[in-house]
Amino acid sequence: MMEAAHETFTPTGRHLRLDTFVRLRWLALTGQSAAVVGAQFGLGLNLPFGWCFLVIAASCWLNLALRIRFPASYRLSDDSAALLLAFDIVQLAGLLFLTGGLQNPFSLLFLAPVLISATALPPERTLALGLLAVGLATLLALVHRPLPWFADGRIELPFLYVSGVWTAILLGTAFTGVYAWRVAEETRQLARALAATELVLAREQHLSQLDGLAAAAAHELGTPLGTIMLVAKELDRQLGPTASPAVAEDLSLLRDQVDRCRGILSKLTSMGEETEEGETFLQTVTFGHLIEELVAPQRALGVAVEVSKQGEGPEPICRRNAGVMFGLANILDNAVDFAESRVLVEARWTAERVTLTIRDDGPGFPSEVLLRAGEPYVTTRSRDRSRNPDEAGGGLGLGLFIAKTLIERSGAQLLLSNITEAGAHGALVRVTWARHVFEREAIVPHRVAHNSLRPLTERDAAPI
């Protein structure tokens, strides 16, 4: 299920809208125009004004062409986005060539297209754009027009300073690109993992809704089945011994099939009935029954699954929660998968706490996994160390994340560790609830049993 969920939420959704690029470029062009106009007329610097605005106009023409050709909601492919960012780098290099090269303080703007690429494009595209920016910066350090200055003076910055600016651009491109890509990638992974979690919860909710659909179907089908049974009995009574063997056989088959359908419907309707204690079947369960339901599917897999239950006072009860059941089943599946021969499930409860501990005698968790346990796309244990070496793939690392999310949503705390006892090894997962949290949704409404009704006396209060 984790693999299917991951395939549903592929990273293609990270493609940026063309409108985003167009708006960012208009912002950059506004800044470039203001800088050129301010330097030329505000500071009185002698700029190649016409050439500068010709370079700026090239970007304006491209923006207008993109706006006319494509709708605002159009999403760019990775290659198209990389080409547009490469154009921005070349356009900036053209402006810097006309205005002093790396001596121009605005040369650090080489970092902007690389930063945008790191947040939205694959690493190989970002690397290519970073190399383009560094290459053009190297060229500008050697070949450029003089830095514009006041008419009565001339400034010539030493090459050591220019080398420092080039080094700053190189290091800034590398650090900013890697950092921005890592942050953006973690955000994308978390978004996909949460989307996968929502998909799993939706599927579990659909399964739980089948109970209501089954009860509704049983209610609706009860009347026509009763009518069919009545008609079959009436035909059998009227035809009696005069019926041919074939007709008698068909009538008998019809009655048998109707009885079978009514038996199935009775099972469906019993799922919604209440027991004598007032608990609803498949909704409220004891802690022990919950554990047995988790363990039962694992007993035929070749690994001994032992259950130990012990506590103070009455056994806690809880409301059946599809998310918690899925999360606990995922953890138990993982323990059975990696165990060598034995898995121990321990249930403990007191007046304050309810604890479920799952131990196995497998290789345990690697230390680097324990540091990041519960994060999306962190595989708990490598597949080549599992009990089934023929199973392909090492998992996507979403199982534990989803299990932890679902379990902690119920108010529990989940702890992962390795067994440190002498002569023992394996992984240990402990889930702990405060008892009042564990039982908060299991309050069963008290009803007055029909067989317990007695005449009211004057001191009795009539039930409402």
Residue-wise pLDDT for 343-383, tens only, equals: 999 999 998 999 999 999 888 888 777 776 666 656 655 54
pLDDT at 87: 92
DSSP letter string, 354-398: EEEEEEE-S----HHHHHTTTSTT--SS-GGGSS-TTS-S---S-
Q: Strands of 19-84 (E only): list them.
A: none
pLDDT at 49: 85
Residue with tokens 């599917």: 297
pLDDT at 356: 93
Burial class of residue 443 in the structure, from the number of CB atoms within 10 Å of its CB (0-12 exposed, 13-18 middle, 19+ buried): exposed
For residue 153, name the pLDDT band (cuts at 50, 70, 90). low
What does the chain come to in residues? 464
pLDDT tens per residue across span 392-402: 334 445 677 77
For residue 204, name the pLDDT band (cuts at 50, 70, 90). low
Residue 3 to residues 188, 200, 285: CA-CA distances in angstroms?
17, 11, 31
pLDDT tens per residue across span 56-89: 999 999 989 988 888 877 888 888 888 999 999 9
Answer yes or no: are the C-beta atoms of 81 and 18 closer than 8 Å: no
Whether pTM > 0.95 for this model: the answer is: no
Q: Find the helix or strand (DSSP H, E) in which 214 lies.
A: helix 159-239
Q: Which two tokens stand for residue 297?
A: 């599917």
Answer yes or no: are the C-beta atoms of 428 and 308 closer than 8 Å: no
pLDDT at 445: 44
Q: Find the helix or strand (DSSP H, E) in which 184 lies.
A: helix 159-239
